[in-house]
């Protein structure tokens, strides 16, 4: 809809100058994307036969009809690339996921990027269940739905994680991408490469607190059953985006259940 043909002469000239100067296609596309020329950005990458460094969501319509679900786009931001969807999961799917995860919760851990190990941290006070080794039918359906929406293969996902936050439970501001200057990042990225995207799904209503907050955007998304947030941890050129700092705000009243899927650049084994 807003492809290369719809660009005005000034933009077309700018692209030519960039190409002559040797600026990479992904870098040019990245700039176009942040200015709202999303289709033109993707078209340019396709035309040059380059590989996309992150998922591509079709933003042309306000509702997206997937194989077995129609979802609404509620909010979009181009840089950082954040999209909020409503009706991504049905009420029944959310209840079934909560039900299945009961009695399986363990204290959540975070990755220590100095050595790649998983450690307990006071920054993340939730409990979690990982479905990465044993995805049931519902988990597979959800992962396939995410793959279809993101146009990114399901085997690039780290495996669905269901989180439970109770009284005061939170995840303090953090990034999901791996910081490549840290010693442990090489080891972590040997399997699957960079975490290019994050997909979060609210499974429960929370009476008070529990929003997902993006402090650098001064923006937060409140919990609502079936609502999902996707954000891209890298720009179109594959560079990490430090505007994606985000947090799970403390739960003040109620219990927050959230499902998370971290998405890698390459297949994750
Ligand atoms: O709990 C939230 O709202 C955020 C979760 C989160 O930051 C994550 O799983 O990376």
Domain 63-264: assigned CATH number: 2.60.120.620
Q: How do beta strands 82-86 and 106-107 pair?
A: unpaired
Residue among 126, 162, 176, 212 whose CB has most ligand 1 atoms within 8 A, to mutate: 212
Q: Cβ(171) to ligand 1 under 6 A?
A: yes
* pTM for the model: 0.94
CB of 200 closer than 6 angstroms to any ligand 1 atom: yes
Question: Which stretches of the chain score pLDDT less than 50?
Answer: none
Q: Give the burial class of 218: count Cβ atoms within 10 A of its Cβ; 0-12 exposed, 13-18 middle, 19 or more buried.
A: exposed
> b vs e for 228-240, b when ≥16 Cβ sit within 10 Å of the residue's Cβ?
bbbbbbbbbbbeb
Nearest CA to ligand 1 atom 9: 260
Question: Distance between CA atoms of 195 and 126, rounded to whole angstroms?
Answer: 21
pLDDT digits (tens, 9 = 90+) for 213-225: 999 999 999 999 9
What is the structure's pLDDT at 83? 98
Least Cα distance to 232 among 32, 52, 37 occurs for 52
Output the CA 202–ligand 1 centroid distance in Å: 10
3-class secondary-structure state, position 165 = strand
Q: Is residue 168 within 8 Å of 242, Cβ to Cβ?
A: no
Per-residue pLDDT reduced to its tens digit, 229-268: 999 999 988 999 999 999 999 999 999 999 999 999 999 9
pLDDT score recorded for residue 163? 97
Give the residue, by CA position, lying nearest to ligand 1 atom 1. Answer: 248
Q: How far apart are the first and last CA of the chain?
A: 37
Q: What is the pLDDT of residue 189?
A: 94
Q: How far is the CA of 132 from the centre of ligand 1 (A)?
A: 17
């Amino acid at each position: 809809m807003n492809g290369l043909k719809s660009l005005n002469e000034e933009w077309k000239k700018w692209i030519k100058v960039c190409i002559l100067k040797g600026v990479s296609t992904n870098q040019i596309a990245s700039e176009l994307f942040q200015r709202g020329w999303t289709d033109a950005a993707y078209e340019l990458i396709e035309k040059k036969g380059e590989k996309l460094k992150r998922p591509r969501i079709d933003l042309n319509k306000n509702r997206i009809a997937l194989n077995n679900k129609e979802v609404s786009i509620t909010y979009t931001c181009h840089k950082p690339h954040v999209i909020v969807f409503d009706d991504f999961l049905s009420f029944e799917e959310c209840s079934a996921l909560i039900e299945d995860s009961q009695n399986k919760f363990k204290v959540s851990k975070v990755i220590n990027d100095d050595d790649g190990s998983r450690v307990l941290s006071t920054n993340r006070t939730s409990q979690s269940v990982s479905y990465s080794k044993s995805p049931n039918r519902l988990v597979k359906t959800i992962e396939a739905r995410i793959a279809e929406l993101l146009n990114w293969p399901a085997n690039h996902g780290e495996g669905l994680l269901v989180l439970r936050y109770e009284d005061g439970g939170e995840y303090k501001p953090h990034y999901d991408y791996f910081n490549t200057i840290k010693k442990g990042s090489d080891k972590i990225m040997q399997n699957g490469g960079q975490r290019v995207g994050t997909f979060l799904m609210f499974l429960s209503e929370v009476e008070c607190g529990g929003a997902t907050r993006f402090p650098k955007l001064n923006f937060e998304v409140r919990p609502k059953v079936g609502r999902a947030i996707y954000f891209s941890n890298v720009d179109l050129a594959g560079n990490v985006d430090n505007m994606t700092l985000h947090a799970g705000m403390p739960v003040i009243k109620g219990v927050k259940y959230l499902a998370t899927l971290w998405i890698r650049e390459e297949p994750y084994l």
